[in-house]
Structure 1
Amino acid sequence: MTAQALPYGPSFGLAILLPVTAVLLVSLVIAARRAGSVAGAFVVVALWMRYTAGAYHLYMFKPLAGGLSGNALLSIGVTAFGLLFVVRPANLALKWLLPVYALILLALFSAALNGDAAGGINAAVKYAYMIVILVAVFQALRIDPEARFLSWAMVSFLPLLVFQMLSLALNLPKGSEDGDGLVWIGGYNHEAAFSVAMMTGFLVGCFAKSAPRWVRIAFLTATFIGVLLAGYRTTILAFAPLALAVFLSGLTMSVRRDQRAAMAVTAMVAGVLFVSVAALFYSEKFADLAAFLADPAGMIKPPRDFDLLERQVMSARPLIWSSYIYAWAEGTPIQHLFGLGPESWEGVFKVYPHNTLVATLYELGWSGIAAMVTLWTAMFAAAASARGERFKLLAAHFAFFLLNMATMPFWQVEGLALYGLLCGYTIHAARSAPRPLFRSRRLISDARVRPSF
């Protein structure tokens, strides 16, 4: 392992990375060929490339061309390829994408307003990446309503699982961000992005209905353990509703229809016990979260008013949030409305905002908050109207919402892939839901007076 050049996790050397990647590439080719559609194969390959690149962070984080890092060039390439060769233009007119387009326009406008065109372009490319993943998932499901391509998409997460297993086998952990232990992230740069990617794998396993039962259970178990081993508190907390929903629905649907009511009660009791045990096990790890929730308003105050103990609560997140909120408050009225520009925090603050709403307020102002909340609300509404898997979809969207409260999946490409995949599946499920048939009053009254023969 080598640790130079980066402040966080070390990386496996090329002597390990290259042969393991070559083996994983064989499974990728098989999965892509069997995905069933161009869109499905694109999703499989795009995810695999991103998660594999994460293991090469010592090389992919360095500028390669035009001042852009290897990861940035990869994201741009995937986005461009998807727009040119995969996404159908008609699907870009899906009504659910309107809030995303609003965020893109706001990012470009705020960047121009604050004299930082580069920040606006970077934000627009990230949202475009999410749109491409979202629409590709939607298109793949229209061709393959049983979501068979998601069974092959599980192959995309083998790099995460294999490299994490290697870090365990070789006893090569990383110190946690909180400084309270060791985490196992397979030579990746940081546990935040790694755990979000692993959570995406669990999400794929949730909806890979056509996979053999034992394969699906094994994959869900492996990604569940993977999230815990990554040790990132925000993801563990956000992950809980989705994991619980999968557990409850899995037990309930495993028996005959006439036994499901009784099994649902049993599953609820088991779920409560499971949550209670987890709460006891993680009580120390989340003790400061309880302290914050006891008086959240009292922890949002001028940064200079934080004492030494308050600066350590939740890995200093209340301090970070307050710093951004008070910096935004010192802006001009137009900046209150449209923000200080996307990614304008770089060079001003040492760390990113660690909360999507705080970041959006600082970068895009109240207009950005309105667009972001509209996006979340629209997707929650789509999940609520979905057919068949409404419970798991709602749990997944709630999990993503929690994730946004203490980290920034919209800033990470891994988080954008997670939300794009979730929203693509949600939109397809919502569009596939049966619609009630309405008859006009005139037709009904005609039927009442029309004689029958």
Structure 2
Amino acid sequence: MFEAIKLLVGVVSLIMVYRTITGNCNKYLAFAICAIWLRYFLSAFHTITYPPLVAGFSINALGSIGVAGLGLLLIPTAVFTLKKLFPFYVFFTAIAVSGFVNMQIPGTINALVKWCYFLVLAGALFLSIRSQGQNETFKKLLVAFFMPVTLQVLSIVLGEAKATEADGSASYVGGYNHEAAFSMIIVSFIFVVGLTERQSIQFRTSLFTLSIFLLVLVNYRTAILTILPIAAVFYFSQIEQRLRPSQKAPVLTIVTMVIVMAFLALSFTMRERFSDVGLLISNLDIIFKAPMYFSDAEQDIMSARVYIWSQYINAYSNADLLHQIFGFGPDSWKTQFDLYAHNTYVSYLYEYGFLGLLSFVGMLTYVLFLAFKVSDSRLSKILAFSIIGFLIMNLATMPLWNIEGLIFYAIVVGVIITDSGRRRSVKAANSANVLLKGNQ
């Protein structure tokens, strides 16, 4: 029955997308909306779109390849030559070198196609924001989230839950395959709502609050930790904008106390889900313990994540110098371990080596630095805290392994390079503007 509901909601969302992109919508935004909608639509029917179909590629994979290829043809070359993207190319080079050294060609192609998907989506949003503005871009982009958000609400109403934890808790993921990927859809939705301006959409604050509630019901604790700083900045800014200067000090002090109390209340109600986090923080040295020395109780910490990390770290530390520098290659973990690392930094250390991890951390740090330089102070806070939350999330899961996580990161980076792009060289600015106007 729920599959039929998925199809119906999918058709309705397609009609909404068509009406949006045929209205006052530039072609770059239309591309971004269609790309995101297509991913969410295909992922909803995972029993059909996940299994390999042609030459080992699934329908989902073929869709991602198609989007990346079309984006490369659509986005002006000048966008890809922005100096702000240089740290990303350093990281992409590290992936390619690791794959060449280890002759992991299929894994390398797979990894680079995913990052190409990210690059074209970020570029499309960059051009759209410069053309129609941030608020208009993200108001229209919300239509791409109609299907997954609606399906989650319906799954809650109809009791369509997925049992995912040993403690008996359930995840409401709207019939999608995994709560990790679905949580990134809701995180992206929260972020996009937060980027729209006041009174630009009806019931904006209520919609933002509802999305926070939906994320909690996804029951994926790392995503909840990611969104907390974004939520705090959103509510804080909402109240601050309504106050006169003389009212700000006393009122914001009270608001801060309320936010802290709300955080403590949430922590208490979900204390069993987060108890392992405190245990890990008090025993950080356990991460570097060899897997063979883990007790049964220690293997269960954070749903066995710590035990999994130790396997990767132990394999890396016992490798020869070449593999420690360049790693074992993209997707090499699949031949050595039963489960992916559940930690982006640990996984990249194993796959891409010291140089790969260094370039990845450098890329993330650079983006955070640009976020702090954004001219709008409120937007700067939202972007900076979003990135900080995302960095934390990567400690306990791998959002960038999924296209859904790359979509979120592309939205963040698209906004950042748009603002910082105004400070780039005059020559690059003129090139992008001329190409943009000529293609409208």
Amino acid at match of 2:218: A
Out of 402, 415, 419, the position equivalent to 1:429 is: 419
Partner SS state of residue 20, structure 2: helix
Map 1:314-333 to 2 at 5 A. 314-333=302-321
Once the two structures are TM-superposed, the CA of residue 257 in structure 1 deviates from its matched residue by: 4.7
Task: Tell me the equivalent position of 1:53.
Answer: 42
Amino acid at match of 1:317: R
Out of 194, 206, 209, the position equivalent to 2:194 is: 206
Instruction: Provide the C-alpha distance between the structure 1 equivalents of 2:102 and 2:134, rounded to a whole number of angstroms.
Output: 47
Identity of aligned residues (%): 32
Q: Which has the higher helix share?
A: 2
Task: Tell me the equivalent position of 2:397.
Answer: 407
Task: Tell me the equivalent position of 1:441.
Answer: none
Contact 1:107 1:120 in 2 (8 A): yes
Q: TM-score, normalised by structure 2?
A: 0.92
Once the two structures are TM-superposed, the CA of residue 347 in structure 1 deviates from its matched residue by: 2.9
Instruction: Provide the C-alpha distance between the structure 2 equivalents of 1:433 and 1:392, rounded to a whole number of angstroms.
Output: 20
Map 1:273-422 to 2 at 5 A. 273-388=261-376, 389-422=379-412
Instruction: Provide the C-alpha distance between the structure 1 equivalents of 2:212 and 2:167, rounded to a whole number of angstroms.
Output: 23
Q: TM-score, normalised by structure 1?
A: 0.89
1:208-263 alpha-carbon deviations (Å, 9 max, x no partner): 22763534223312321211110001111121111111111111113345533443
- Is 1:137 the equivalent of 2:121? no
- Is 1:255 the equivalent of 2:238? no
Map 1:127-276 to 2 at 5 A. 127-209=115-197, 212-276=200-264
Contact 1:53 1:60 in 2 (8 A): yes
Amino acid at match of 1:376: L
1:36-74 alpha-carbon deviations (Å, 9 max, x no partner): 311111111111111111211000101121210111101
Once the two structures are TM-superposed, the CA of residue 434 in structure 1 deviates from its matched residue by: 12
Instruction: Provide the C-alpha distance between the structure 1 equivalents of 2:134 and 2:302, rounded to a whole number of angstroms.
Output: 42
Structure-2 change in CA distance of 1:181 and 1:139 (3 Å): same
Out of 72, 76, 86, the position equivalent to 1:88 is: 76
Instruction: Provide the C-alpha distance between the structure 2 equivalents of 1:395 and 1:109, rounded to a whole number of angstroms.
Output: 32
RMSD of Structure 2 on Structure 1 (CA)? 1.8
Once the two structures are TM-superposed, the CA of residue 135 in structure 1 deviates from its matched residue by: 1.0
Out of 90, 113, 117, the position equivalent to 1:102 is: 90
Once the two structures are TM-superposed, the CA of residue 288 in structure 1 deviates from its matched residue by: 0.9
Instruction: Provide the C-alpha distance between the structure 2 equivalents of 1:62 and 1:95, rounded to a whole number of angstroms.
Output: 39
Instruction: Provide the C-alpha distance between the structure 2 equivalents of 1:416 and 1:70, rounded to a whole number of angstroms.
Output: 18
For structure 2, list consecutive stretches of 5 or more residues without a partner in the other structure: 426-440
Contact 1:340 1:365 in 2 (8 A): yes
Task: Tell me the equivalent position of 1:9.
Answer: none
Task: Tell me the equivalent position of 2:112.
Answer: 124
Out of 8, 12, 16, the position equivalent to 1:27 is: 16
1:172-195 alpha-carbon deviations (Å, 9 max, x no partner): 110024553111101000100001
- Is 1:40 the equivalent of 2:34? no
Question: Taking CA–CA contacts closer than 8 Å with sequence separation of 6 or more, which of the two structures ends up with the larger relative contact order?
Answer: 2
1:317-337 alpha-carbon deviations (Å, 9 max, x no partner): 110111011111222211100
1:335-380 alpha-carbon deviations (Å, 9 max, x no partner): 1000000111113211111111101100000001111111111101
Worse overlay, 237-246 or 195-204: 237-246
Once the two structures are TM-superposed, the CA of residue 107 in structure 1 deviates from its matched residue by: 1.5
Out of 78, 84, 89, the position equivalent to 2:67 is: 78
